[in-house]
Chain A
């Protein structure tokens, strides 16, 4: 436990030294405020920046609800550009250690592979959720200011479930890192695999519910106040995370 704590703390201090907490948070804040501002002031923006010739904006168009704006922020911004940048930020989580020889130094100590992998998972999940939470809270503030109130408890529940999805993405990056050595390839493969788990919804809903992407759907349902949510997908997501870690553990032992 002490070794897991030491390794996790080192991951967090390293992220702080690299200003990851700051730039990643700023990035999510920008993503978080862009969507509500664009949705609210689209006509003003078009008018001021020009290029609105031939575009007619219906002045009587329905004003979206705060839930819809929050959902489009998460699905449109956080889960696309946000996810890509997040994965790029931790693409070297194991590759860097392996290439520098640090992994060998750590694993020749009385440190279990489980502690090493869990510290990577925990460290990068904390960094990710710190930034995402700040971005999401700022986005929440802007949304309720511009589009009306929204239940804060539902928002928190959304964040909690969304964090499980992020935990899965980090575990996926860890698993892929044990197969591939190049950080760029790790990033591309993790992004492709994560997008697959999101897009699977459109192909087969049942399969989607059984995949880790089901947790993402469950999180989004908290924003839409849908009550027929499938909580079984939480168990599926946890199972996938454990599977990823066990597989990564096995791979590292072998090679």
Chain B
């Protein structure tokens, strides 16, 4: 659906993006992760056509992105509308700018407000809305023209727990029908929606993390024991190099090379150990992220 090839962007002689290449398929929900100042917002602004890039290509269904603006919905990091406008007026304004027909808009505005849970707030002025409501109105303006791609820049980072919860529920619903790119540095939030993560550091892509990648590292095994062993050393074998105790009966076994799960199970059976569960350890996105963006 969207392909970015060898993208370079310089602002005030400072290189912000360098050789950025990735693609996103229809229906995916991709997390764009990176520390503050990594270049996430600049990348998004190039993808939405707000900023012009010096080198590289951004295509949407094989056509330049600027020809597809009407198919992109965007929620910026700082969401603030004209405070004197009501929610309905705001949406009408953005609908007109999207080139939507007046009659279509009249019907669609109330449907979109209902979708984001602001049905009874249509006549409220923006200045009367809470942070969470403003963010939901932001999402409403982004989905008003029924875009094929939704780009959300830090959609929940500035909200309180209630607001975050409201917006997260809404994103989970939208994920079922739209391709979504979420830029964030809050990894817990990203892991709730995303199928894949693109990690950006100093303007460069340093990781493209899929679910398979998270599972692919088969050097670690998580074991839950029925009986607590007297010493964790008892769990060591020729394959298991290190044993870490995570809780009294949960252990993380690490091998020097890829571990053979069946072999480990057989080894424990031979030692007559009471195992309640054993599985390959799946690394969390936070762990992978920290490893990829750390300077050491």
Complex partner residue of A6 from B72, B81, B97, B141, CB under 8 angstroms: B97
Segment touching A, from B42-50, B106-114, B219-227, B252-260: B42-50
Given A2-B99, A10-B93, A254-B51: A109 in contact with B81 (beta carbons within 8 A): no
Q: Determine how close the nearest CB of chain A comes to the CB of B158; give it in whole angstroms.
A: 11
Q: Which of A88-107 contact B (CB under 8 A)?
A: 99-102, 104-107
Q: Determine how close the nearest CB of chain A comes to the CB of B274; give it in whole angstroms.
A: 58
Q: Tally B residues with Cβ within 8 Å of A.
A: 27
A69 to B144, CA, bound (A): 56
Tell whether A7 is near chain B: CB-to-CB under 8 Å. Answer: yes
Nearest-CB residue, chain B, relative to A254: B52
* Cβ–Cβ < 8 Å partners of A59 in chain B: none
Nearest-CB residue, chain A, relative to B41: A104
Complex partner residue of A17 from B74, B81, B84, CB under 8 angstroms: B84
Complex partner residue of B51 from A6, A105, A106, A253, CB under 8 angstroms: A253
Complex partner residue of A105 from B12, B74, B96, CB under 8 angstroms: B74
Q: Which of B23-53 contact A (CB under 8 A)?
A: 45, 48-52
Tell whether A52 is near chain B: CB-to-CB under 8 Å. Answer: no
* Cβ–Cβ < 8 Å partners of B11 in chain A: 254-255
Complex partner residue of A102 from B74, B82, B98, CB under 8 angstroms: B82
B69 touches A110 (CB 8 A): yes
Q: Determine how close the nearest CB of chain A comes to the CB of B284; give it in whole angstroms.
A: 32
* Cβ–Cβ < 8 Å partners of B12 in chain A: 255
A67 to B99, CA, bound (A): 50
Complex partner residue of B97 from A14, A18, A109, A255, CB under 8 angstroms: A109
Closest 6 CB pairs between A and B? A100-B80, A101-B78, A101-B76, A108-B74, A109-B97, A104-B76
A sample of 17 cross-chain residue pairs with beta-carbon separation below 8 angstroms, ordered by A number, consists of: A2-B99, A17-B84, A99-B78, A100-B80, A101-B77, A105-B74, A105-B141, A107-B50, A108-B49, A108-B69, A108-B72, A109-B98, A109-B99, A110-B70, A110-B97, A110-B99, A255-B51
In the complex, besides A102-B81, A105-B74, 8 extra interface pairs with C-beta distance below 8 angstroms are A2-B96, A3-B96, A101-B76, A104-B48, A106-B97, A107-B49, A110-B97, A110-B98
